[in-house]
Amino acid sequence: MGWGFVGQATGKGLATNKKNKIFVYDKQRTSPLTLKQVVEKSEFIFICVPTPMHSDYSGMSMVIVDDVAGQVAGFAKGTDKVVIVKSTVLPGTTVKYQKLYPKINFAMNPEFLTQNNANKDFLNPTRTVIGASNKRVAIRIKELYQTILPKSQPYFIVGTTEAEITKYMSNLILGSKVLLANEFYTLSKKVGAKYEEIKEAVEADPRIGTHLGVPGPDKDFGFGGACFPKDMIGILGFAKKSGVDVSALQAIWDKNLKIRKNRDWEHMSSAFRPKI
């Protein structure tokens, strides 16, 4: 469900094994099949729809994914099909779906794709995280991935909420790393130090890793794109509602808004949804 960069990477990746038959439905595109037909023909249904920010930056809208999950559950009722959420959703979302639709096999399988190399990333993942409350369902998903991924592929079978938070933590650590690099770039420039030399020495530590270049590949400061800003806003809004202090993340986001010239995420068609 959904044929954006995540849906396309998933569909095209699974199709590399000719035994896997792929059926596509996207409400925003011309689809040869209806949603009902796609669900009926499929054993595994991947939900890859947008979870945009509220236009006032107060959090993430779950309207689209909630609607799709409900429709799919209606068509999958009474079957042993597996409904896999790949969209980035707030912690507890998949548990909510399982409670709303108890006769449906729900799972959470976060994606860790880069937008520019999504197809390649899908077939060469650093890890595959499968969140499921039912071990049998988790094994079925793992066996599906084993039809296309190397035998050495690491799998992490966890709970659904753990899988949801894994996605957020991964992206926000990467975003935070970008901001820290920007801070040291500014400091180095102020005292006349050569940041490139510092960066190379720091990146030699495997605990830190690479991608400390400033400015970034887009020649701008801070982070932008379709994922990091949306995920930051999503977790900030969720934490506020949950009464959890994440002031360190808030400071990172505030600084990003201050130094980022091109707020490219604001110009993406599916970036925002009015708050209801």
- Tell which residue, 50, 133, 136, has the closest CA to residue 99: 133
**Model pLDDT, residue 269:** 66
- CATH top-level class for 167-273? mainly alpha
DSSP output for 241-273: HHT---HHHHHHHHHHHHH-S--GGGGSTTSEE
**pLDDT tens-digit map of 10-63:** 999 999 999 999 999 998 887 889 999 999 999 999 999 999 999 889 999 999
Instruction: Give the C-alpha separation, 159 to 132, whole Å.
Output: 5
The helix/strand/coil state of 218 is: coil
Q: Is the peptide bond before 215 cis (omega within 30 degrees of 0)?
A: yes
Give kind and range of the element (H or E) at residue 47. strand 44-47
Provide the pairing of β-strand 105-108 with 128-132. antiparallel
**Model pLDDT, residue 170:** 97
| CATH 1.10.1040.10 in the chain, residue ranges | 167-273
**What number of H helices and E strands is found in the chain?**
10, 7
Q: Give the Cβ contact number of residue 7 at 10 Å.
A: 23
**Model pLDDT, residue 28:** 85
| Superfamily name with CATH number, domain 5-159 | NAD(P)-binding Rossmann-like Domain (3.40.50.720)
In single-letter form, the type of residue at position 97 comes to: Y
| CATH 3.40.50.720 in the chain, residue ranges | 5-159
**Is the per-residue pLDDT at 182 higher than 80?**
yes
**Is the per-residue pLDDT at 271 higher than 70?**
no
